[in-house]
Chain A
């Protein structure tokens, strides 16, 4: 029972971390029609910048540096590179961000080498927030979840209750009209791109410390984030939230299932016990990495537009 609660909590917090990244991706897509392949690279850059700055500014300083640094990198990418290919259409933008994600990964290797770096949660933050039965639940994990929730609340309030938010929402729906009303839409877009990048950077600065910081982290997480936005429906914040949480919980819960595929199929009588021990000796817990993709295929079959996607496919 306790382990189930822990697994659910872990899943929830991993889901919230996913949401920190997928929300930026989906916001940028909704506004500019750009699918940013390099978005997960911002997550990676956040972790590495924070890691590098920790030595100088301390842990919290590193997190602030990582967030702001990545926001700045995002701003530069938008203003100097993406803007340049916009006239060639969305596919060219896609290729550009793809090239950037490739280049960022290699650039990180130039500075920090091809292996994981040691970017740990500082000793002072390693204490239990509470305990569930015999399990001490780490405070930092709770902090990641709380940060994600606070961030979501901030964005929601910004978009819903402020004048800037109103202009941004209008710019998403009809950029030409907003431009005609005298607002600087291009500046709004750049700003939102920087905010989205900064969010991914923050997620990386915190997630990198808790999980691992290595050059593959962008690719590994990027794929899951793509699954999240396909399942949730690209352009929809609420869809991204639901999909993030579902996938986070799913991936973390299945780890605790203690049987193999072979056993399962052998019990039903589809395969022999011999095959079960050799060819199909794959623990179901191992499917954690595969489940999000199966979920995506399922969603594509029954609801191609995603959970909260537009009806017009």
Chain B
């Protein structure tokens, strides 16, 4: 029964994705492209984080290397090279794999927090190189190339790029799902659970980890390749810390323990960035807050919460949504609204533009407009309303000593509680 529902859902989703260019505008297609690229990147990252338990905080390096490699290949095609355009993402994947093999060998010498620090440092190394080496990375301006048609296939329209990205996203999904279920995938999860045990079962853990790292880098590089095809350009900005940070945010918010979690996270944060950036300068801060709240109260992420909820309903252990859940959600929304009000007020009155306005009005503080509502910043009311909403909303969401939000997301007990064992950090 549940299997039929899943298959039906999958078919509906597939039909919607295939039909999107027919009724979606250019902006929708661009957003869908961005989401799919972010999803592939997050899936690659999660191979390392969710499956092998290795927290990389420098994955932008492999993404960026994939983008640059693909741009160079596009250039070669443009100048008469024979490489088929639809297979371009494989160039990104290959570059990511080779670079990941070297970087992974170093990073997986150590595990736990050392691994995390080494990945950060390697990413920074690449970023510093990209900044200095203008000949290869094109400096501030970056480098550009163009998509070339291949045989009967035309790649000039956004729709065609959309279909190419969709096909590659599905290929990556299937390949990673297969890998996860393969015997090798079992070894990888064994390393996540207890590396020492795996080694005493005769597996060369360092070699396995290096290969998984390289595979993860390859998928990230493939995502970079898709970006190159879509944007027809690459610049050193790709190597900055933001790229590495966003893939962590996407994966953790979506849920690292669920196969489609990173896809959910990528869809949500990419949409949030897309719409949020036109509404407020401070959208990354809100995203950061959402991330921290997720880590604190829903370690399994949104995907984990959905899965737990689905299991509960299937087992008849509870309704899909109860009254307490609604109250918790309402509280969370209220708290977020309060936070947004406070931050927008503060951000606006601290901005240079506002200071200049005060000066031009000879010391009078003009009203602050937030989402078409005017607030007088010198009266206590907007601040008070914001504070009350933030505190009241949090209390409602967390419950006074009886947290609603955690219960809302409660599925399994603490996901990585087992990793507190001694020697984990060594």
Do chains A and B directly touch (beta carbons under 8 Å) in the complex? yes
- Chain A: residues with CB nearer than 8 A to chain B? 29, 33, 35, 37, 81, 84-85, 87-92, 94-96, 98-100, 102-103, 106-107, 109-113, 219, 222-223, 226-227, 229-230, 234, 278-282, 286-287, 289-290, 292-294, 296-297, 300-301, 304, 310, 312-313
CB <8 Å contact, A293 and B110: no
B343 interface residue per 8 A CB criterion? yes
Q: Which 8 A-B pairs have the closest CB atoms?
A: A103-B288, A106-B285, A293-B125, A35-B113, A89-B419, A289-B128, A226-B117, A99-B292
Complex Cα gap A293–B352 (Å):
38
CB <8 Å contact, B292 and A81: yes
CB <8 Å contact, B113 and A112: no
CB <8 Å contact, A102 and B291: yes
Report B100-115 CB contacts with A as 1/0, cut-off 8 Å: 0000001001101110
CB <8 Å contact, A88 and B416: yes
Instruction: Tell me the chain B residues, 377-421 only, with Cβ under 8 Å from chain A.
Output: 414-420
Q: In the complex, what's the smallest C-beta–C-beta distance from A36 to chain B, in angstroms? A: 10
CB <8 Å contact, A230 and B128: no
B331 interface residue per 8 A CB criterion? no
Complex Cα gap A300–B117 (Å):
12
CB <8 Å contact, A99 and B135: no
> What is the size category of the interface that chain B forms with chain A?
35 or more
| A106 surroundings in chain B (CB, below 8 A) | 282, 284-285, 288
19 contacts between A and B (CB under 8 A): A35-B113, A37-B57, A81-B296, A87-B414, A88-B415, A92-B299, A94-B113, A103-B285, A110-B346, A113-B351, A227-B121, A278-B135, A280-B135, A282-B132, A293-B128, A296-B121, A300-B106, A300-B109, A313-B110
| A109 surroundings in chain B (CB, below 8 A) | 281-282, 285
Q: In the complex, what's the smallest C-beta–C-beta distance from B121 to chain A, in angstroms? A: 5
Q: In the complex, what's the smallest C-beta–C-beta distance from A113 to chain B, in angstroms? A: 6
Q: In the complex, what's the smallest C-beta–C-beta distance from B286 to chain A, in angstroms? A: 8
B347 interface residue per 8 A CB criterion? yes
Contact of A294 among B57, B125, B295 (CB under 8 A): B125
Identity of the chain B residue whose Cβ is nearest the Cβ of A84 in the assembled complex = B296
Instruction: Tell me the chain B residues, 112-143 only, with Cβ under 8 Å from chain A.
Output: 112-114, 116-118, 120-122, 124-125, 128-129, 131-133, 135-136
CB <8 Å contact, B426 and A89: no
| B129 surroundings in chain A (CB, below 8 A) | 290
CB <8 Å contact, A110 and B124: no
Q: In the complex, what's the smallest C-beta–C-beta distance from B327 to chain A, in angstroms? A: 22
Report B260-288 CB contacts with A as 1/0, cut-off 8 Å: 00000000000000000000011011001
B55 interface residue per 8 A CB criterion? yes
Complex Cα gap A35–B417 (Å):
17
Contact of B289 among A33, A96, A103 (CB under 8 A): A103
Q: In the complex, what's the smallest C-beta–C-beta distance from A222 to chain B, in angstroms? A: 8
Having A102-B249, A219-B241, A281-B135, one finds 13 other A-B pairs with CB under 8 Å, namely A35-B117, A87-B420, A88-B414, A91-B53, A103-B285, A103-B292, A106-B282, A106-B285, A223-B120, A289-B131, A296-B118, A300-B118, A312-B426
Contact of A89 among B110, B117, B241, B424 (CB under 8 A): B424
Complex Cα gap A111–B285 (Å):
12
Complex Cα gap A171–B361 (Å):
59
Query: Which among A102, A229, A290 has the highest number of chain B CB atoms within 10 Å?
Result: A102
| B281 surroundings in chain A (CB, below 8 A) | 109
CB <8 Å contact, A304 and B346: no
Complex Cα gap A88–B252 (Å):
14
Contact of B117 among A107, A229, A286, A310 (CB under 8 A): A229
CB <8 Å contact, A226 and B350: no
Identity of the chain B residue whose Cβ is nearest the Cβ of A293 in the assembled complex = B125
Given A293-B125, A312-B426, residue A91 in contact with residue B416 (CB < 8 A) = yes
Complex Cα gap A89–B245 (Å):
21
Given A102-B288, A281-B135, residue A110 in contact with residue B347 (CB < 8 A) = yes
B65 interface residue per 8 A CB criterion? no
B248 interface residue per 8 A CB criterion? yes
| A81 surroundings in chain B (CB, below 8 A) | 292, 296
| A96 surroundings in chain B (CB, below 8 A) | 292, 295-296
CB <8 Å contact, B347 and A226: no
Complex Cα gap A222–B120 (Å):
9
CB <8 Å contact, A110 and B128: no
| B291 surroundings in chain A (CB, below 8 A) | 99, 102-103
Identity of the chain B residue whose Cβ is nearest the Cβ of A219 in the assembled complex = B241
| A230 surroundings in chain B (CB, below 8 A) | 110, 114, 117-118, 121
| A103 surroundings in chain B (CB, below 8 A) | 285, 288-289, 291-292
Q: In the complex, what's the smallest C-beta–C-beta distance from A238 to chain B, in angstroms? A: 18
CB <8 Å contact, B125 and A234: no
Complex Cα gap A162–B241 (Å):
42
Complex Cα gap A93–B388 (Å):
29
| B292 surroundings in chain A (CB, below 8 A) | 81, 96, 99-100, 103
Complex Cα gap A90–B423 (Å):
11
CB <8 Å contact, A304 and B110: yes
Complex Cα gap A29–B113 (Å):
10
Identity of the chain B residue whose Cβ is nearest the Cβ of A223 in the assembled complex = B124
| B132 surroundings in chain A (CB, below 8 A) | 282, 286-287, 289-290
| B295 surroundings in chain A (CB, below 8 A) | 85, 92, 95-96, 99
| B351 surroundings in chain A (CB, below 8 A) | 113
B425 interface residue per 8 A CB criterion? yes
CB <8 Å contact, A310 and B426: yes
CB <8 Å contact, A95 and B424: no
Report B287-320 CB contacts with A as 1/0, cut-off 8 Å: 0110110011001000000000000000000000
Complex Cα gap A296–B118 (Å):
8
Contact of A113 among B55, B248, B350, B418 (CB under 8 A): B350
Complex Cα gap A91–B418 (Å):
11
Identity of the chain B residue whose Cβ is nearest the Cβ of A36 in the assembled complex = B113
| B289 surroundings in chain A (CB, below 8 A) | 103
Given A103-B292, A278-B135, A290-B132, residue A223 in contact with residue B121 (CB < 8 A) = yes
| A85 surroundings in chain B (CB, below 8 A) | 295-296, 299
| A110 surroundings in chain B (CB, below 8 A) | 282, 285, 343, 346-347, 350
